[in-house]
Structure 1
Amino acid sequence: MAWTIDHIIFFSFLILNVILGLKSSKGITSITQYAIGDRNFSTAVLVSTLVATWVSGSFFANILIETYKTGLYYFIPVLFEVVCFFIVGYFFIPRMSEFLGKLSIAEAMNDIYGQKVRIVTSISGFIFVSGLIAVQLKIAGSVFEYILNINSLYGIIL
Structure 2
Amino acid sequence: MYTKTQPLISDANLLVVYHNLFEDYHNLLFGLLDTPVKAVHHIGGTAHFKYPTEPILDILVGVNNLHDITSLDEKRLNYAGFYRIHHQYKKKVMMVKFNNLIDLKQEVRLHILQIESEMYDQYLQMQRALKDDHQLAQQFKTEKEQLHASASSIRDYETQKETLFEKLSKQIRD
TM-score after normalising by structure 1: 0.31
Identify the structure with bigger relative contact order (alpha carbons < 8 Å, sequence gap 6+). Answer: 2
Indicate the structure with greater strand content.
Answer: 2
Indicate the structure with greater helix content.
Answer: 1
